[in-house]
Amino acid sequence: MSISLPPLKALKVFEAAVRTRSLTIAAHELHITHSAVSQQIKLLEEHFGQPLFIRLPRGVEATEAAQVFYTEVRAALDRIAMAAEQLTLTGKNRIVRVITAPSVAMRWLIPRLSQFQIDNPRIEVRVTTTVSEHFEDVKDPFDVVLWRSPLERSGFECVRFLDDVSAPLASPHYLELHPINKPADLLQASLIHLSVRADAWQQWLIKAGVPVKKKLQGTSYEHFFLSLQAASTDLGIAMGSLALVDDDLSHGRLRQLFPEVVLHGQGFHMLHRIADGGNANTGNALKTFISWLMQMGQASAYDPRKIYSADSST
């Protein structure tokens, strides 16, 4: 049976318009004019015999049916991009494309990658970072995404691979200048907040039995690696994920306060392409990398006995 496929160019424009919720932004991203975007959208709407977007005062919004279609189109375009890249690289190194936050890349993934590359010289791991907290904003093709919450996408599988346990962290020098003897003393300390997790300190203090009657003071940073840098340079006490500061703790650059009280998050999750078809070598490379990530996550599992507290000399 002959199947009438919509034009690929129109599908690329459709994908960009749904993702950005703007014909203008889609045009800028694709390096075409606004009218060209409108024309391609019109072609698709004529092809399907129905409107695909609701025009809003500022931007557009996909209809419910178009949103379902978008999910499949996005996954198909990713698969085409990966297949094209692998065809280009036939006989060369197999590529695994990873997207994650800068803090996870710098403080957990990259320090461990050297041994993986030594053990697997024919697999090239390309790491791209994103500062967005919204998975929908990720537009680069990928095989693996490391995220601080579960994710969903057609053609992919999501698994939890790393514990996300947070605790107060400070430099030894800061603690010498500002002794913290009990959790309530933190109310008088310079607290470092993370804007995307603004309630973390309040949650920890309540769990530690400290009533919080007013808004907590302190400096707020947009990204975790900035808040961690602030704590390392004696600017205050940060709330950080222990998996991302293991090296700082073991070398005494930071110390964990009140280790008996921690916050357990959902965990770091890995959204990975299902490696069960297509190029066998590519699938094997991805499976190898996924297996390695799971092993590294298990090796970094939270252990309450492994504590580098404010009173510890190690």
Contacts of 301 (CB under 8 A, 6+ apart): 162, 163
Residue 42: predicted pLDDT: 94
- At 314, the pLDDT band (50, 70, 90 cuts) reads very low
Of the candidates 244, 279, 269, the one whose C-alpha atom is nearest the C-alpha of residue 96 is: 279
Residue 3 has pLDDT above 70, yes or no: no
SS3 153: coil
Residue 89: predicted pLDDT: 59
- At 312, the pLDDT band (50, 70, 90 cuts) reads very low
Residue 311 has pLDDT above 80, yes or no: no
Residue 112: predicted pLDDT: 93
Residue 310: predicted pLDDT: 45
Residue 157 has pLDDT above 80, yes or no: yes
Residue 210: predicted pLDDT: 94
Q: Which contacts (CB < 8 Å, 24+ apart) does range 152-155 have?
A: 152/271, 153/71, 153/74, 153/75, 153/271, 154/71, 154/72, 154/74, 154/75, 155/75, 155/78, 155/79, 155/273, 155/274
- At 93, the pLDDT band (50, 70, 90 cuts) reads low
Contacts of 243 (CB under 8 A, 6+ apart): 108, 162, 163, 164, 165, 268, 300, 302
Residue 133 has pLDDT above 80, yes or no: no
Strands of 219-314 (E only): list them: 219-221, 237-241, 255-256, 263-264, 268-273
Asked if 191 and 271 count as a contact pair (C-beta separation under 8 A), the reply is no
Looking at per-residue pLDDT, the higher value among 141 and 243 belongs to 243
* Range 247-274 average pLDDT: 93
CA 79, 84, 85, 91 torsion: positive or negative? positive
Residue 6: predicted pLDDT: 87
Residue 225: predicted pLDDT: 87
- At 284, the pLDDT band (50, 70, 90 cuts) reads confident
Residue 169 has pLDDT above 50, yes or no: yes
For residue range 11-51, list pLDDT tens digits in order: 999 999 999 999 999 999 999 999 999 999 999 999 999 99
In whole angstroms, give the CA distance from residue 308 to residue 123. Answer: 36
Has this prediction a pTM greater than 0.75?
Answer: no
Residue 313: predicted pLDDT: 38
Q: Which two tokens stand for residue 22?
A: 């703007």
* Range 175-201 average pLDDT: 93
- At 83, the pLDDT band (50, 70, 90 cuts) reads confident
Q: Which two tokens stand for residue 202?
A: 């309040």
Checking DSSP bridges between strand 60-62 and strand 94-100, what pairing results, if any? unpaired
Compute the C-alpha angle 265/267/268, nearest 5°.
135
Q: What are the φ/ψ torsions at residue 264 (nearest 5 degrees)?
A: -100, 115
Residue 88 has pLDDT above 70, yes or no: no
Residue type, position 107, single letter: R
Of 108-117, 138-147, 258-267, the least confident = 138-147
Residue 100: predicted pLDDT: 93
Residue 1: predicted pLDDT: 43
* Range 90-107 average pLDDT: 84
Residue type, position 50, single letter: Q
Looking at per-residue pLDDT, the higher value among 78 and 61 belongs to 61
Residue 69: predicted pLDDT: 93
- At 275, the pLDDT band (50, 70, 90 cuts) reads low
Of 5-14, 99-108, 126-135, 272-281, the least confident = 272-281
- At 283, the pLDDT band (50, 70, 90 cuts) reads confident
